[in-house]
Structure 1
Amino acid sequence: MEEKIHTKIVRMDSENIDPEIIKEAAIIINKGGIVVFPTETVYGIGADALNDEAVDKIFKAKGRPQDNPLIVHIADVSELDALVKEVPESADKLADKYWPGPLTMILYKKDILSDKITAGLDTAAIRLPKNQIALALIRESKKPIAAPSANTSGKPSPTEASHVIEDLMGKVDMIIDGGSTNIGIESTVIDMTGDMPTILRPGGITKEDVEEVLGRCEYDPAIIKSSEKIVPKSPGQKYRHYSPKARVVLYKGKAEDIAQRIAKDYEKLQSEGLRVGIMSTVQTEKYYEGKTTICCGDRTKPLTISSNLFKDLRNFDRMGMDVILSEAVDEQGLGKAIMNRLGKASSETIIV
């Protein structure tokens, strides 16, 4: 039987950092332990990126495949030089504009970062988060911190400490509860090693945001059509992610048409004895009167949807649903990232 770790849970306001708790967490990191902390995207499970034994603990706690690379978090742009061989001018420009923030850049790594972090690749994923708790912990640790999302691999990423407790209690040394995360989906990952900046995972910094700074940018083909043959440069490219226990069915089409089809399928599935939930939006709630629904947000304000997405998927599981019927959203801007996550969470897509 796997030995459980005593997990200490502490609460902290990101606007009122407790230096004593940060010191305690940094000591854990420097002794090779693991600390869960909030970022502006999702909660991360952090360990000393330069300590292979500590990094192994991340993979073990999450049940994460070893060939899925980790993101290394830093607290200042100046720390890049120790970790990567070169910083292209284009990467400098993006850092100036979007760091600290929900942007991860792929750059050629130095040997200081081992294959444990990079899954054997000659590149590394680096991010400078915006959340003040995350920054304080990295600074106090005086180490780059490897930190994937703090969930059991394959489950929806955690946007509240309660999600982390559900998945990782007894598997980590400390959980810093900093409240709900802001963006609610993981950072944008962009490969800066080629001629064309290429988004490997869409997130809070959109393709349009990148183009505004660099003039050009493209999506990796893996985002359009996933393949098991892909060598993953980024977390989330190869494996199924974000999946609740319930089966997720995704509906694409005009909002009104989607809603009418979902309402019809809801009745059919219920008649078969299944427990069914609908992930609705502000614009479509009227179509689902009397049905079990969770309103995910407003279609005209995609941040309201992204910030609720993973939480709502977990809530449906808590309600004991067998099937979740989810509406698609417009894939412009942040909608691209939302649809990327929904696409990976779903087992079936219906075009209406």
Structure 2
Amino acid sequence: MNDDLARAVAILQQGGLVAFPTETVYGLGANAEDPAAVARIYAAKGRPQDHPVIVHLAPGAALDYWAAAVPPEATALAAAFWPGPLTLILKRHARIPDAVSGGQDTVGLRCPAHPLAIALLTAFGGGVAAPSANKFGHVSPTTAAHVHEEFDADGTVGMVLDGGSCAVGIESTIVDLSRLDTHGPVLLRPGHISPQAIAAVIGQLPVAPDAAAPRASGTLASHYAPHTPVAMQPRAQLVETLARLRAAGRRLALIHMGDMDASGLHASLALPARPDGFAHALYAALRTMDHSGAELILVEAPPTDGDWLGVNDRLRRAAHGSSGIVHGLLNAHVAG
């Protein structure tokens, strides 16, 4: 074990916080069986106490230690997709602290695919509760520099393990298997692993959540949001909006795919027109645009087919509550 890894394990054992890379985003980790340590995650992030965190496990960890019941569907999905970007929601074992689950009777479990995460979890020898390593509701971090940007000022994080840029770039798919008898599998959060891929393993397509579905990480209406307002529009509408806001002299940042006239803009970035490439670059792009000094981040709406489900989910949440911002900027110009 190298010195950095040994230090990270020691911090976790002592109840401290360690940020570490996964293939999705960087996580802010604490010993999942130490309620005081988990409470430090909530305090550092400013996270509501009833918003659960995901427990990260090393390959081969016993699910029945964490879950009161492990249905065959859970075993099959873990065999198919772990290590990887899939979180399973199961009934929580009585030994698992309430703090991990936001007071619910369920627990979210996943085994990340990043080699540094696997090394940390294996060396630690237990579960690490880890939401994304950012202040609550903000854009998730996909590099160690993003984590430092979020937490260096307050000193709440004991260590940041640098594992480079996250390969996937958006959070894991979350599937609820805690109510199979009554509801079947439920897709609580889309991600890199599609509903169709899940159905190919368990023979059932996950359904949309109902009002009684367990609360899960990253499922609030407003989430993954930069400080600068975000508006998402299809290309034809976006071109018109850009023209009008340019004419009004507004400071604009643009995230788009393919060729688009970016003249007169405060900042612009073209992302790959593939769902995996767009997802990988999205959060870093939002952070870059957030630092550009623009009044508004305009995003070209991606396609709506199934491969883009996770990306569209994150962008809708990032843009939540900003629907009137374009009209507000134009009206302010007219009034001025």
Please, what TM-score do these two structures have when normalized by structure 2?
0.89
Instruction: Please name the residue that 1:341 is paired with.
Output: 314
Once the two structures are superposed, residues 70-95 of structure 1 have per-residue CA deviations (whole angstroms, 9 ceiling, x without a partner) of 00011034321211112111111111
- What's the C-alpha RMSD, in Å, of the aligned pairs? 1.8
Does residue 137 of structure 2 align to residue 166 of structure 1? Answer: no
Instruction: Please name the residue that 1:87 is paired with.
Output: 70
Instruction: Please name the residue that 2:85 is paired with.
Output: 102
CA contact (8 A) 1:251 1:349 kept: no
SS in 1 for 2:175: strand
* AA aligned opposite 1:116: A
Instruction: Please name the residue that 1:207 is paired with.
Output: 195
Instruction: Please name the residue that 1:315 is paired with.
Output: 288
Shift of 1:152: 0.8
Counterparts in 2 of 1:62-81, with a 5 A limit?
62-81=45-64
Instruction: Please name the residue that 1:6 is paired with.
Output: none
Does residue 114 of structure 2 align to residue 141 of structure 1? Answer: no
SS in 2 for 1:133: helix
Shift of 1:200: 0.2
Once the two structures are superposed, residues 226-262 of structure 1 have per-residue CA deviations (whole angstroms, 9 ceiling, x without a partner) of xxx777521122352111111111114xxxxx2x422
Counterparts in 2 of 1:101-140, with a 5 A limit?
101-140=84-123
Instruction: Please name the residue that 1:241 is paired with.
Output: 223
Q: Distance in 2 between matches of 1:214 and 1:105?
A: 13
Shift of 1:220: 2.3
Q: Distance in 1 between matches of 2:212 and 2:170?
A: 22
Instruction: Please name the residue that 2:327 is paired with.
Output: none
Q: Distance in 2 between matches of 1:57 and 1:155?
A: 18
Q: Distance in 1 between matches of 2:117 and 2:54?
A: 14
CA contact (8 A) 2:198 2:206 kept: no
Q: Distance in 2 between matches of 1:122 and 1:138?
A: 24
Question: Closer, same or farther in 2 for the Cα pair 1:263/1:310, shift >3 Å?
Answer: same
Query: Of 257, 271, 289, which aligns to 1:296?
Result: 271
* AA aligned opposite 1:117: V
Does residue 170 of structure 2 align to residue 182 of structure 1? Answer: no
Q: Distance in 1 between matches of 2:187 and 2:90?
A: 13
SS in 1 for 2:282: helix
Instruction: Please name the residue that 2:334 is paired with.
Output: none
Q: Distance in 1 between matches of 2:149 and 2:255?
A: 22
CA contact (8 A) 2:68 2:94 kept: no
Point out the more displaced range, 188-197 or 233-242.
233-242
Q: Distance in 2 between matches of 1:231 and 1:107?
A: 12
Q: Distance in 1 between matches of 2:82 and 2:5?
A: 22
Once the two structures are superposed, residues 39-82 of structure 1 have per-residue CA deviations (whole angstroms, 9 ceiling, x without a partner) of 00000000000001100110111111111000001103432121
Shift of 1:149: 0.2
Point out the more displaced range, 36-45 or 231-240.
231-240
Q: Distance in 2 between matches of 1:191 and 1:59?
A: 23
Q: Distance in 2 between matches of 1:95 and 1:218?
A: 16
* AA aligned opposite 2:271: C
Shift of 1:290: 5.3
SS in 2 for 1:339: helix
Does residue 140 of structure 2 align to residue 154 of structure 1? Answer: no
SS in 2 for 1:342: helix
Shift of 1:289: 4.9
* AA aligned opposite 2:37: A
Instruction: Please name the residue that 1:266 is paired with.
Output: 242
Q: Distance in 2 between matches of 1:232 and 1:36?
A: 26
**Identity of counterpart residues, as a percentage?**
36
Shift of 1:197: 1.1
CA contact (8 A) 1:37 1:178 kept: yes
Counterparts in 2 of 1:217-228, with a 5 A limit?
217-221=205-209
Instruction: Please name the residue that 1:42 is paired with.
Output: 25
Q: Distance in 1 between matches of 2:3 and 2:45?
A: 27
Does residue 252 of structure 2 align to residue 276 of structure 1? Answer: yes
Moved >4 Å (runs of 4+): 229-232
Please, what TM-score do these two structures have when normalized by structure 1?
0.86
Once the two structures are superposed, residues 16-45 of structure 1 have per-residue CA deviations (whole angstroms, 9 ceiling, x without a partner) of xx6221111101000000000000000000
Shift of 1:275: 1.1
How many residue pairs get matched? 317
* AA aligned opposite 1:127: R
